[in-house]
Amino acid sequence: MRKTIPFFLCVLLFTACENKLYDTEDGLNREVTLFEEEISVPIGNVGPFNLELVLQSKSVGALMGAIMNTEEDGTIVSKTSNPFYKISAYEIISKTKDLSQPFSYPVENKDFSPSGIANLLQMFGFQMVDQHLTVFVNNPLKTSYSLGGDIHISCLNTKTYQTVYDQSFPLADVTIERSASDTPLLDIVLPDDIGVCPSTAELRNWCFNLPANLDQQLRYSNKTDFSFDLEYSCHIAAGKNGEIALSTFGLTETSFKFNLPIAAYKFKEVEASFELENTLPLSVTLKSIKLMSGEKPAVDENLLATPEELVIKGGSTETPGITPITLNIKALEGTIPDITGIQVDLSIKSDPDFADTRLSVKQGVSVKSASATLRGGITLGGKHE
């Protein structure tokens, strides 16, 4: 027989009286089991479990949390800052024969990859958008000097090995102000249709035009280096081919805490039916699902969760993806304790319908319209002395 009732109405008012005809030396057992076949009850909504929680988890957060930043609206931004070029003024002095007159000092061409973690995400098919490159300058001199040359940016599609962007940005006798410190020199905005991050940034034909008596200019400065830093930032969109299995990084058994306090009811088996609402522009596959119990959550080998793999389709904040799910939880021996966490292997794949959607820590998965079919009865009460 199957009955459906609101869960909060499952309260038993149980009274008992002691009679000398009964042997109560070992105490009176007031334990009672209701609905021994099965009963369906509403659970309500749970979550969301969003990217913010993922970035805070021990395993994933150790990798991603240190290299991802978030903006006020929750949008994830990848940002790296690296020394672009640095040379000591004393090196220039040692290579210059006549310091009594203003002189020019040519710089050898130099290139490097400015994109950091974005390069790695690009390899997995994610799309880089809103890309900015900013050059910052530091001047050790108490006087200004001028600089000429080009900064050349190239973008290589690592899947097709085709150069999709190749552009030079000239610096024509730009004046570097006295004692400049982390002063923006050049800001470059890349077109969004590129979709891939810069593979190289290169100094070409740079030349310092320096004042006379350079050695004297340093007498009143506590800095000695002419230095340039390059900051790169971008937002990350799902793209059409994005795919990451966290096992690729050796990160399996990712754990998340949550609280399902059901031990008091002594369930033997629970079949949970619910809808998962996903605002991530990514489909998420959960594999090797294991449940955790205890104050310090640890995998409970006595609990079996089936199926062992779930696939959640992607969506967006405006158009959430809805996936109906049925999950069976069973205690191999005894009853189900309070469940305090879940451990899974995660893999993530882009949903082509949401390829241009930026990733945000506010995006995530929520449980909607949940109900549970409880088997083995609800046991209330206990033994009283």
Position 9 confidence tier, pLDDT thresholds 50, 70, 90: very low
Q: At residue 40, does pLDDT exceed 60?
A: no
Q: At residue 331, does pLDDT exceed 80?
A: yes
> Can you give the pLDDT at residue 69?
76
Residue 368: CB atoms within 10 Å: 14
Strand partners, 162: 157
Q: At residue 21, does pLDDT exceed 80?
A: no
Residue bearing the bigger pLDDT, 340 or 272: 340
The mean per-residue pLDDT over the stretch 8-26 comes to: 38
Read off the pLDDT of residues 339-369 as tens digits, 9 standing for 90 and up.
Answer: 888 888 878 888 888 888 888 888 887 777 6
Q: Poorest-confidence range of 10-14, 217-221, 281-285?
A: 10-14
Query: How far is it, in rounded angstroms, from Cα 166 to Cα 77?
Result: 24
* Angle (nearest 5°) at CA 337 between 335 and 343: 120
Position 145 confidence tier, pLDDT thresholds 50, 70, 90: very high
Q: Report how far apart, in Å, the C-alpha atoms of 32 and of each of 2, 131, 189, 265, 380 are.
A: 19, 65, 70, 10, 6
Query: How far is it, in rounded angstroms, from Cα 289 to Cα 199?
Result: 39
> Can you give the pLDDT at residue 375?
57
Residue bearing the bigger pLDDT, 32 or 234: 234
> Can you give the pLDDT at residue 65?
52
Residues in the chain: 385
Which amino acid is residue 347, in one-letter code? S
Q: At residue 68, does pLDDT exceed 90?
A: no
Position 254 confidence tier, pLDDT thresholds 50, 70, 90: low
Are 260 and 337 in contact by the 8 Å Cβ rule? The answer is no
Are 379 and 265 in contact by the 8 Å Cβ rule? The answer is yes
> Can you give the pLDDT at residue 153?
94
Q: At residue 109, does pLDDT exceed 80?
A: yes
Per residue, what are the HEC states of the chain? CEEECCHHHCCCCCCCCCCCCCCCCCCEECCEEECCCEEEEEEEEEEEEEHHHHHHCHHHHHHHHCCEEECCCCEEEEEEEEEEEEEEHHHHHHCCCCCCCCEEEECCCEEECCCCHHHHHHHCCCEEEEEEEEEEEECCCCCCEEEEEEEEEEEEECCCCEEEEEEEEEEEEEEECCCCCCEEEEEEECCHHHCCCEEEEEEEEEEEEECCCHHHHCCCCCCCEEEEEEEEEEEEECCCCCEEEHHHHCCCCEEEEEEECCHHHCCCEEEEEEEEEECCCEEEEEEEEEEEECCCCEECCCEEEECCEEEECCCCCCCCEEEEEEEEEEECCCCCCCEEEEEEEEEEEECHHHCCCECECCCEEEEEEEEEEEECCEEECCEEC
**Nearest by Cα to 235 from 137, 363, 345, 47:** 363
Read off the pLDDT of residues 195-221 as tens digits, 9 standing for 90 and up.
Answer: 888 989 999 999 999 999 998 888 777
Query: How far is it, in rounded angstroms, from Cα 13 to Cα 105?
Result: 92
Query: How far is it, in rounded angstroms, from Cα 28 to Cα 24?
Result: 6
> Can you give the pLDDT at residue 156?
85
Residue boundaries of the structural domains of the chain: 24-59+241-384, 75-237
Residue bearing the bigger pLDDT, 208 or 171: 208
Question: Which conformational region is residue 363 in: left (phi greater than 0), alpha (psi within -120 to 50 degrees), or beta?
Answer: beta
Q: What is the largest CA-CA distance in the chain?
A: 119
> Can you give the pLDDT at residue 371?
63
Which residue in the block uniquely carries the two structure tokens 């249709």?
A: 193
Q: What is the CATH number of domain 75-237?
A: 2.60.120
Residue bearing the bigger pLDDT, 6 or 282: 282
> Can you give the pLDDT at residue 38?
56
Residue bearing the bigger pLDDT, 31 or 259: 259
Read off the pLDDT of residues 301-312 as tens digits, 9 standing for 90 and up.
Answer: 999 988 878 888
Are 253 and 342 in contact by the 8 Å Cβ rule? The answer is no
Mean pLDDT score across all residues of the chain: 77
Bond before 48 cis per omega within 30 degrees: yes
Position 130 confidence tier, pLDDT thresholds 50, 70, 90: very high
